[in-house]
């Protein structure tokens, strides 16, 4: 199937799950994840209606974003950084992306703040949380919640960061249903943060990918990040 056909099918599935969950489909943003796929594939997705595109690596995005923007028009696509961000690449990330979904430490938040200030930009961000405590995943740890809340308090005060909510990567499990407690945990944490830090916006929950986005929507996801179901099987990269 083509990228356009895949995108249509995914949108229909999102709509069906949302309606069955008593939610409005318009509440859910589909981020098409184009990692390892060329600019031409992104343009196909845009022409089929995708306006939110996710990239995992700053250096890969730096090659693709300018060429795609020239082809479709600057500002027509909202670019999301969804992969781990190294502090030394923060300046490029701030310049390239419309949202950084992977703020996973206080030090990274402070670095992004510095570059956003220098570029005169208000940077929308999500805080990535390692809900499952997986040592192989990035994200704020919840092992010591007092430390986490202290870090969040400091991040909320950074003037050039605009906190929009939370992000998590679900665990590798045999069935999507097994991921439900982790998605529910992120939603509960978001609600707690919204009470503790009402000066920030906590409207967004970015959770759910190709294999588990239906369960994530049922648990309150407002952003789902889907690559394989739209662009096809990606090549293995090192």
In tens, the pLDDT along 49-95 reads 999 999 999 999 999 999 999 999 999 999 999 999 999 999 999 99
Buried-exposed string 24-62: b where 16+ CB fall within 10 A, e elsewhere: eeeebbbbbbbbbbebebbbbbbebebebbbbbbbebbe
Judging by DSSP bridges, how do beta strands 78-81 and 99-103 pair with one another? Answer: parallel
Question: What does the pLDDT read at residue 185?
Answer: 96
The boundaries of the domain holding residue 92 are 3-231
Answer for the pair 90, 108: CB distance below 8 angstroms, yes or no: yes
| Average pLDDT of the segment spanning 203-220 | 96
Q: Is residue 234 predicted with pLDDT exceeding 90?
A: no
| Average pLDDT of the segment spanning 204-225 | 96
Question: What does the pLDDT read at residue 1?
Answer: 84
Report the number of distinct structural domains present in the chain.
1
What's this model's pTM, rounded to 2 decimal places? 0.95
Question: What does the pLDDT read at residue 212?
Answer: 94
233 pLDDT tier (thresholds 50, 70, 90): confident
Q: Quick check: is 206 in a domain?
A: yes
| Average pLDDT of the segment spanning 150-178 | 94
Q: Is residue 236 predicted with pLDDT exceeding 80?
A: no
What percent of the chain stands above pLDDT 70? 98
Of 218, 229, 228, 231, the closest CA to residue 9 belongs to 229
Give Cα separations from 202 to 6, 40, 113 (angstroms).
Answer: 31, 34, 18
Q: Quick check: is 236 in a domain?
A: no
Q: Quick check: is 238 in a domain?
A: no
CA diameter of the chain: 49
Report DSSP letters for 22-40, one per residue: T--GGG-EEEEE-TT--HH
User: CATH no. for residue 203?
Assistant: 3.20.20.10
Q: pLDDT tens digits for 167-182?
A: 999 888 878 899 999 9
Question: What does the pLDDT read at residue 238?
Answer: 40
Q: Quick check: is 237 in a domain?
A: no
């Amino acid at each position: 199937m083509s990228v356009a056909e895949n995108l249509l099918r995914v949108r229909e599935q999102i709509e069906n799950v949302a309606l069955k969950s008593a939610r409005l489909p318009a509440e859910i943003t589909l981020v098409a994840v184009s990692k390892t796929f060329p600019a031409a594939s992104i343009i196909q997705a845009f022409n089929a209606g995708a306006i939110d595109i996710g990239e995992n690596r700053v250096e890969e995005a730096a090659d693709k974003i300018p060429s795609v923007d020239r082809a479709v028009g600057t500002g027509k696509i909202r670019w999301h950084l969804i992969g781990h961000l190294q502090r030394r690449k923060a300046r490029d990330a701030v310049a390239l992306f419309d949202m950084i979904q992977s703020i996973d430490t206080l030090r990274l938040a402070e670095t992004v703040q510095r570059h956003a200030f220098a570029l005169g930009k208000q940077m929308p961000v999500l805080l990535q949380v390692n809900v499952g405590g997986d040592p192989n995943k990035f994200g704020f740890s919840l092992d010591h919640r007092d430390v986490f809340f202290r870090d969040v308090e400091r991040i909320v005060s950074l003037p050039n960061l605009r906190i929009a909510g939370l992000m998590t990567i679900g665990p590798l499990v045999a069935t999507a249903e097994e991921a439900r407690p982790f998605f529910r945990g992120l939603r509960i944490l978001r609600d707690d943060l919204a009470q503790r830090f009402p000066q920030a916006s906590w409207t967004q929950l970015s959770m759910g990918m190709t294999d588990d986005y239906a369960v994530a929507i049922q648990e309150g996801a407002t952003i789902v990040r889907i690559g394989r179901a739209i662009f096809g099987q990606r090549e293995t990269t090192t």
